[in-house]
């Protein structure tokens, strides 16, 4: 006894006494297979182009992309999500490079598949924003608004050319109503029932996409608030989730990850399909910038944020640190 009362009989700190103890009782464990590497490939460049807003990330050449895919595979990463950046003069109102079999994204899919085969999942961004001269994720009508149903027709074509190029998984990311059902039908019509769909189920209109605009050389005019989700809403995400599953989504995703861990947890508790989260460019850039200033420990911050995303319910995490994080885990 002390003059302040009894000493505690239950001491949770006993399970925190050493690295070995903490490792044994850890409730959440990261594994290299949790990660998917987003990667950009730019048409018409002979050397990788650094992305100023995302230190350490580049717009790849075809050759450097293949090397990055092999490095990710060797680190134990599960997949690579490809984004194509066509030459500006090839962009047009309907995003023609997105459905051209010789568009940069389709070429990149074939390149990576030839390099890694089926050992690394080759995933493709299925959206028009990188290929349109106006930078929106869909076709515009006469009033300059995104035309949902005209866009769905373009997505169907994109799904088919990406599957033909060798994509294992397509990721419709434009937040058009009905996009999962249309993509599934388009794939099935060409006998590609084997190609899976990762649905960008809850993709929010976020300020954290800023650095991504540079990464894909975006031509965006205006904003995407009429089709991406309002950051204030959660029930809306659950409605989107129900629709995507009904339409045939094989996997679902929340994007961004860090600012929407509550949404991620709610989605993960509600489904029996794999759940992914995308740690986006702004999340990456903030940590890199703070670390460069000496304000935080970079390596610890990376693993802590990834652990938080997995703890919230993500089975897979798209992160620009995928290969690096996998290598660090492999050395532990």
Mean pLDDT of 168-194: 97
CB of 231 within 8 A of CB of 282?
Answer: no
Q: Strand, helix or coil at 252?
A: strand
Of 111-115, 143-147, 175-179, which range is least confident? 143-147
CB of 163 within 8 A of CB of 187?
Answer: yes
pTM here? Answer: 0.94
Active site residue 203: yes
Residue 288, annotated as binding a ligand: no
Q: Which of 66, 255, 266, 310 is catalytic?
A: 255
Active site residue 293: no
* pLDDT computed for residue 6 by the predictor: 80
- CA gap 119, 183 in Å, rounded: 25
Q: pLDDT at residue 227 above 90? A: no
* pLDDT computed for residue 126 by the predictor: 97
Could you read off the pLDDT of 78-135 as tens digits, one per residue? 999 999 999 988 999 999 999 999 999 999 999 999 999 999 999 999 999 989 988 8
* pLDDT computed for residue 209 by the predictor: 83
Residue 14, annotated as binding a ligand: no
% of the chain residues with pLDDT over 90: 84
Q: pLDDT at residue 1 above 60? A: no
Residue 236, annotated as binding a ligand: no
Average pLDDT taken over every residue of the chain: 93
Q: Which of 66, 91, 203, 310 is catalytic?
A: 203
Residue 78, annotated as binding a ligand: no
Q: pLDDT at residue 213 above 80? A: no
Banded pLDDT at 16 (limits 50, 70, 90): very high
Tokens of 239: 């409605």
Burial 285-299 (b: 16+ CB within 10 A, else e): bbbbeebeeeebeee
Tokens of 167: 């994509």
Among the listed residues 64, 82, 53, 59, the one whose alpha carbon sits nearest the alpha carbon of residue 292: 53
Could you read off the pLDDT of 192-202 as tens digits, one per residue? 999 999 999 99
Residue 281, annotated as binding a ligand: yes
């Amino acid at each position: 006894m002390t003059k302040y009362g009894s000493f505690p009989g239950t001491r949770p700190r006993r399970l925190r006494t050493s690295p070995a103890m903490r490792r044994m009782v850890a409730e959440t464990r990261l594994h290299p297979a949790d990660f998917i590497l987003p990667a950009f490939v730019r048409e018409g460049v002979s050397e990788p182009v650094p992305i100023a807003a995302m230190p350490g990330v580049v717009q790849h050449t075809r050759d450097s992309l293949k090397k990055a895919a092999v490095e990710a595979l060797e680190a134990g990463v599960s997949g690579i999500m490809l984004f194509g950046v066509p030459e500006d003069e090839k962009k047009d109102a309907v995003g023609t490079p997105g459905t051209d079999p010789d568009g940069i994204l389709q070429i990149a899919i074939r390149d990576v598949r030839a390099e890694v085969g089926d050992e690394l999942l080759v995933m493709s961004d299925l959206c028009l924003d990188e290929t349109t001269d106006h930078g929106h994720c869909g076709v515009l009508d006469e009033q300059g608004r995104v035309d949902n149903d005209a866009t769905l027709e373009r997505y169907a074509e994109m799904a088919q050319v990406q599957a033909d190029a060798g994509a294992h998984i397509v990721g419709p990311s434009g937040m058009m109503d009905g996009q999962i059902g249309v993509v599934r039908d388009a794939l099935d019509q060409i006998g590609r029932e084997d190609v899976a769909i990762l649905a960008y189920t809850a993709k929010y209109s976020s300020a954290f996409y800023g650095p991504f605009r540079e990464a894909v050389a975006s031509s965006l005019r205006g904003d995407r608030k009429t089709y991406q989700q309002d950051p204030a809403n959660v029930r809306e995400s659950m409605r989107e989730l129900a629709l995507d599953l009904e339409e045939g989504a094989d996997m679902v995703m929340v994007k961004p990850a860090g600012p929407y861990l509550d949404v991620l947890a709610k989605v993960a508790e509600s489904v029996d399909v794999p759940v992914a989260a995308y740690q986006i460019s702004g999340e990456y850039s903030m940590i890199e910038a703070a670390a460069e200033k000496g304000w935080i420990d970079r390596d610890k911050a990376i693993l802590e944020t990834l652990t938080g995303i997995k703890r919230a319910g993500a089975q897979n995490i798209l992160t620009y640190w995928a290969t690096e994080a996998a290598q660090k885990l492999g050395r532990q």
